[in-house]
Amino acid sequence: MRVIAGSFLVGILLFHSLAELPSGWWTIGLPTALIIAFQVTALRVPAWIAVGFLWTLLLVAPPPILQRPQTQLPPTLESTDLRVTGWVAAIPETLYRRTRFLLVVDELYHETTPLGFRGRLRLSWYDAPVALQVGDRWAFTVRLKRPRGLANPGAFDHERWLFTQRIAAQGYVRNQPQARLLRSSDRYPLDRLRQHIASRFQRLLSGNTYTGLLTALAIGERQGITDRQWNLLTRTGTGHLMAISGLHVGLIAGLLFVWTRYLWSRSLRLTCFCPARSAATWVALMGAFGYALLAGLSLPTQRALIMLSVASLAIIARRPVIPSRVLALALLAVLIVDPLAPLNGGFWLSFAAVAVILFSVVGYRSEFQPWRTGVGLQLRISLALMPVTVILFQNASLVSPLANLIAIPWASLTVIPMTLLAALAGFVNTDLQTGLLTVAALAMDWLWRFLTWLGQSPWTSLNLPAPPLWSLLFAVPGLLLLLSPRGVPGRWLGAVLCLPLAYAARPVPEPGDAWFTLLDVGQGLSAVIRTTHHVLVYDTGPRRGTAFDAGQIALVPFLREQRVQRVDTLLVSHADNAHMGGTRSLLEAFDVQRILTPFPLQTPIENAQTCRAGQTWDWDGVEFRLLHPSEQSLLRGDDASCVLLVRSAGGRILLTGDIGAAGAAELVRAHQAELAADVLIAPQQGAGLPLGEDFLKAVSPQIVLFSTGHNPRANTPKPATQAYYRSFGARLYNTADLGAIGLRLPCDGQLPPPSFYRQQHRHYWNAQ
């Protein structure tokens, strides 16, 4: 079983590494692969790898004769008005003026033509006149776009997340023509119940700091947890407590098993009818299933239920429970049900934690000592999960063992039981529910005070670059050695084998070289220039409320992926949200030595200095020169943007902020001889008019880069602007199509071709 599960997983991982989907007709080989897997021992491993590969293909891209209704939005219909009818399929998320929700499509029309489209839409409704209820059937006019996200090194793959959530398109509701409620409470009774519980919690604990946390524990709905609360949970390594997962499902099952076995064994008649152990197992399994239903049967709870079911059925069948076999069988069951599970970080954390617990329980046979055993198990789990956590989240909590040692039993014995009893009490008595919620909130307050005290030190957690994947080849056997029982020879070698996890080296520019990266931040601008020992950030991208922060989701992850320790200079070209929105996130994450902006009083950034033409500095043989604005300039707004020229022996890059025709004319008058550049970062994301013939003749760029958002109907950069740049012989590249764009200015030789992140790191789920 262990070989089968491992081989099946390898086949699935091979499939997920593909850049393009193979033909669905390859799935006709699945029966043959299964026969070989069961009948030919010598070929069992490659056959099961093939089975895993073909099984995933069958579910993701079946052959034409098995294909379901269309689930891909035609590109020609992006950002056009479409009419849709469907059901609200999950608890809506309300944040300020926006309500975001999932809609399961019944019919989708373009004008009067049905599209035969089926799937899940992720929609936003601004200034919604009514509160949406799960299960209601609505008719909307919407504008949609295919699943798409930003593409940057080190950043979260939003397109992969949308794919694993089976979301076929994203968009927003048009307020005209008016949306119509077609039928109330038409579907999804379980999710309606969960929404009812959440609304009662909100009403009875109105204004309480911990309402969102208790709601998450009761029904798995985490939208009420604030960013500050998530930050503390992350720093202390206790975020898993607020996401209903294997821990919570196992806790409920364990409590039910213990109490049922105790009570059942007190009755001779019941034990004659069914052994106490079997009865307790059934009750525990049903209770865990009920709790998973209350949590909306999320993917983590599904995995936990499958693992629990495998172990429970072995107990009921009176078969020996061999931990490694149970884990392998659970792994195989999870992968058969959901071959997309390995694309989710929770999958690896869940199985890694269970594997460590089983390994520890089986390996240690000494006398049971609760405190020592608990501390040791927490240390082993934290140690074993650290590589996975760093790879997935680039964060490692140094206080996680201590935090979990206190938080897990406290939450398990007080907060979670009181919260679940409060959820059930709502069907009995409102006063009882209010009292239980008050007790749960008080218990959470005591826990939160402890976590706050523990997490206040800046050394509570470390933000680390993800180690190279090859380091796992050494770290996994090293961790097994470190976690092995006392007496195993060579345990100290485990620490040596884990050293590659701390491998932080990364190629850096040679003296005289400059590495330039234009990040994909949507409709805005953020660029990073690196020399051998220095880093300059030019603009930080846009910020839109709490929903989108380019600094947090693009710029900071990129700098961490590049092993950057500090930012020497931040240059904010002008006071425009599309260029400075991510500044706060950058300043919170990195030590920034110097900040330059044209008008510090208009840019609310502490300790900012004025950028002026004539400022020059040299970093590692690379010259940085500010060309605009001058002291005498009367220009304001976009035309007063800081213009930066980066020059090495191998080429020049001109960054122009958002200057317009007036700013370009002033540049030509003052610096015509210095404007020549190989690469020009187009101002105003290509939405404005060309900067004039004199300016472009002075620059004579070989390459023009645009930083825009993906919007097929926005026409940005404008066709006329593109044609004008091409008339000067320039090659045009856009982050909206190519993701982050990288350029290297070598200290000798010609400018090499740019690199495009979306092309180099493409997967089959990425948008074209």
As a whole number of Å, the CA-based R_g of the chain is 29
Q: Which long-range contacts link 494-500 to residues 24+ away (Cβ below 8 Å)?
A: 498/474, 499/474, 500/467, 500/468, 500/470, 500/471, 500/474, 500/475
* Amino acid symbol at 392: L
Question: Which domains are seen in the chain, by residue range?
Answer: 2-65 (no CATH), 75-187 (2.40.50.140), 190-237+391-466 (no CATH), 246-363 (no CATH), 470-502 (no CATH), 514-760 (3.60.15.10)
**CA torsion, points 545, 550, 555, 557, in degrees to nearest 10?**
80
Q: Give the contacts of 307 (CB within 8 A, at least 6 positions apart).
A: 246, 326, 327, 330, 334, 354
- Write the Ramachandran bin of 757: left for phi over 0, alpha for psi from -120 to 50, otherwise beta: alpha
Residues of the chain with pLDDT under 70: 64-71, 242-248, 299, 303, 320-323, 357-384, 464-466, 485-487, 502-505, 688-690, 712-715, 767-768
Per-residue b or e along 634-656, where b marks 16 or more CB atoms closer than 10 Å to that residue's CB: ebebbbbbbbbbbbbebbbbbbb
Confidence (pLDDT) at 368 = 46
pTM: 0.84
User: Residue 29 gets which letter from DSSP?
Assistant: G
Confidence (pLDDT) at 55 = 92
Provide the sign of the torsion angle of the four alpha carbons 690, 691, 696, 699, taken in this order.
Answer: negative
* Strand (E) or helix (H) holding 670: helix 661-671
Q: Which residue has the tokens 């049900």?
A: 337
Per-residue tokens: 658: 């958002």
Instruction: Give the span between the Cα atoms of 395 and 71, in whole angstroms.
Output: 36
Instruction: Give the span between the Cα atoms of 461 and 232, in whole angstroms.
Output: 10
Confidence (pLDDT) at 338 = 86
* Amino acid symbol at 759: Q
Q: Give the contacts of 357 (CB within 8 A, at least 6 positions apart).
A: 377, 381
Q: Which of 63, 55, 68 lies closest to 334, judged by CA?
A: 55
Confidence (pLDDT) at 348 = 79
